[in-house]
Chain A
Amino acid sequence: GNSVTQMEGPVTLSEEAFLTINCTYTATGYPSLFWYVQYPGEGLQLLLKATKADDKGSNKGFEATYRKETTSFHLEKGSVQVSDSAVYFCALSDRGNAGKSTFGDGTTLTVKP
């Protein structure tokens, strides 16, 4: 079956530090990949996505590149802010298994001023 593995958290950074959250996946088909963000007390919202190999998704200064050769979709941001504190989920949807989606365990990021 499909699976998503995220780096374990929590992650604590100082403001303006560089952020990387690792995500690797296993899929039987050719998945679309997503990063979702969950702010305290809220539902998840899409941060960025990529639908084919070498695509780069980007939004709000965050980036992730779909690497088929390493089955990875690492999330990066050059300079984090306190407002980026949230839980980040890597996820995949498998076109061969329409309708099913698989999420990672989530990584909690805390940014300190």
Chain B
Amino acid sequence: EAQVTQNPRYLITVTGKKLTVTCSQNMNHEYMSWYRQDPGLGLRQIYYSMNVEVTDKGDVPEGYKVSRKEKRNFPLILESPSPNQTSLYFCASSKWGGTTNEKLFFGSGTQLSVL
């Protein structure tokens, strides 16, 4: 079954404690992206990657890091989480043929609370 898998589904942590949210897709997609969803603000793009070793900032990259060492995985790293990073996070992937017409496949989300 084609899917994007995020882990964990829920995470409670404390300020300053480094954490990683994993994202994996089994569709051989070139493009992957991270979003955060906050009430009243919709989805905002954090980082995206158009292929292995190619990453770029979205609209809200501050406080986050990503890496793309393998095509299927795109982890989101919070080196020193702060309470304003409490949010619902989504990973997504799509084919990339040089256009932006392809639909995004989303994971089920990670609810992060930073105390």
Contacts and interface: CB of A to CB of B under 8 A. Distances in A.
Interface in A30-81: 31-32, 34, 36, 41-46, 49, 51
A20 interface: no
Contacts of A112: none
Given A43-B4, A105-B41, A106-B42, A100 B103 contact: no
B74 interface: no
Interface residues of B, number: 28
A94 interface: yes
Interface of B: 4, 31, 33, 35, 40-45, 48, 50, 56, 58-59, 90, 92, 98-101, 103-109
Interface of A: 4, 6, 31-32, 34, 36, 41-46, 49, 51, 89, 91, 93-95, 98-106
19 contacts: A36-B106, A42-B109, A43-B92, A44-B43, A44-B90, A44-B92, A49-B103, A89-B42, A91-B43, A93-B100, A93-B101, A98-B100, A99-B100, A100-B45, A103-B35, A103-B42, A105-B41, A105-B42, A106-B42
